Amino acid sequence: MQRLTTGWMGALLGMSFAINAVAQSGAEAAVTRSEYCSRLGLQLDGAIQTKAAPGASASKLAEATELQNKANRFCAERKEAQGIRTYANALKLLGVTPVDLNQ
């Protein structure tokens, strides 16, 4: 009877170690919404500076800057989902594909 109990305890302990290792590796790969807000904000800053070259559409740049200000407010107010969508819309307006969460 003692061997049976010890065997089960060892099996459960081994499974818990395996599950814990998988859970930690998945947690490290996840990007929070606030981090994604920051990444998109930096990407939009770069896109606006790139598009600010002579010949760029001033109206699109002004609209993208307005959307950027709006997205900054959303992210600062902990409304990251709205901020992310607003950043993505501003980037698309400039013809830039937003960064992927998994990169």
Classify the phi-psi angles of 95: left when phi > 0, otherwise alpha if psi is within -120 to 50, otherwise beta: left
State the pLDDT at residue 30: 81
**Residue 98 DSSP one-character state:** P
pLDDT single digits (tens) 48-88? 888 776 666 888 899 999 999 999 999 999 999 999 999 99
- Return the higher-pLDDT residue of 82 and 13: 82
What amino acid occupies position 2? Q
> DSSP letters of 9-78?
HHHHHHHHHHHHHHHHHHHHH---HHHHHHHHHHHHHHHHHHHTSTTS-HHHHHHHHHHHHHHHHHHHTT
* pLDDT mean across residues, the chain: 79
Across the range 3-15, mean pLDDT stands at 53
User: Per-domain residue ranges for the chain?
Assistant: 1-30, 33-93
pLDDT score at 84: 95
If you compute the radius of gyration of the chain from its CA atoms, what whole number of angstroms results?
23
Calpha distance 72→70 (Å, rounded): 5
Average pLDDT over residues 12-41: 68
- The tokens for 14 are 């081994």
